[in-house]
Amino acid sequence: MLQHGPLLERLLAGDFICQISDEDAFRHLGNEQTQQDINHYLRPLNRRLVSNDDGSVFYLGYHELTKEAREHLSSQFALTVQSLLPLLEWLQLVQETLGRDSALTAGDTIKLQEFVLRTEDNQSLRQRLNALASDRFFNSQSEQLDSQVKLIFRRLKEHGYLLQPHSERQYYIVTGKIDHLLDVIRFIRDEEQLPVDDTPSQEALL
């Protein structure tokens, strides 16, 4: 277990481990024996490893759902629900602004400057960004495009959706936590049978 010290610390701190955020650790977590060892170690802390369905991201959940655990999960779920729309709007905005033909996925790189430049000259993108920045999830007080964008990206970095490889260079990589977000959305949609399609209709295919 000794060699997994830094990984355990990251997991305990609430980090999501994916191929992008920590390639080595992610590879170790793919090993069933390591998973068992980690779960065994975490048992007294009432924690266990959890991964999403396709195993692209790992994080810690509660082993036993005590009253305190449920309370924490409830408040966290409320935050997640609150963050859904701003995150989805951000995903759409990035896709449209950068002229990408598909949604962001783990491993995609976003250059902050390019994003700012393209938003600057487009009134409608500018307005949407403005509305997004003032959403309480991002909570920007600024009127300046540059600082709004920086704040949005910083907040997403804090939430683990983005990785900034060099702190002084303004480019970001999308992490596997975005997969988790989409899994959550898909789950809610399926569970509540929301009228939200993700397969093109037959006419669209033809």
Partner 1 sequence: MAPLDSQLTSNLFSIGAERLALLGKHHKALMQGYLDGQVDETAFSEGALKKLIAARILWRPDEQQPLALRPLVSELIASMVADENRRQINADVAEKLEQIRNRVQAYRDAQYKGDYSVAELQLQRLTEHVHDLSGQFEEAIDSLWHRLNSDFGFVSSLDDKIRENERAQKQLRRLLDGLDLLDFNELIELSEGNNHLRKLLVSQLQNQLSSHHSSLLEVQKRLVQLLAKFRQQQARSMLIANMAAFLRQHPKYQPADYPNRSELPSLFNQAAAIRPQAAIALDKASERAVLAELVRALPRPGSIELPEQHSASFAELLADEEITARQQALKTDVENFYLRVIDQGGKLSALDYLAQQQLSWDSEIWLYQILAEYQALPLEEKQMFAIRREEAPASSVNQLLLIRDIQLTLRAA
The residues that touch partner 1, with contacts defined as CB under 8 A, are 9, 12-14, 45-47, 50-52, 59-62, 65, 69-70, 72-74, 76-77, 80-81, 84-85, 88-89, 91-92, 95, 101-103, 105, 180, 182-189, 191-192, 194-200, 204-205
* Nearest distance, CB of residue 146 and partner 1, angstroms: 25
Cα–Cα distance between 95 and 98 in angstroms, integer? Answer: 6
Question: Quick one: 120 or 184, whose CB is closer to partner 1?
Answer: 184
* Nearest distance, CB of residue 144 and partner 1, angstroms: 26
Question: Quick one: 155 or 177, whose CB is closer to partner 1?
Answer: 177
Question: Quick one: 1 or 146, whose CB is closer to partner 1?
Answer: 1
Within 10 A of 129 (CB to CB), how many other CB atoms are there? 24
Question: Quick one: 168 or 197, whose CB is closer to partner 1?
Answer: 197
* Nearest distance, CB of residue 145 and partner 1, angstroms: 22
* Nearest distance, CB of residue 137 and partner 1, angstroms: 13
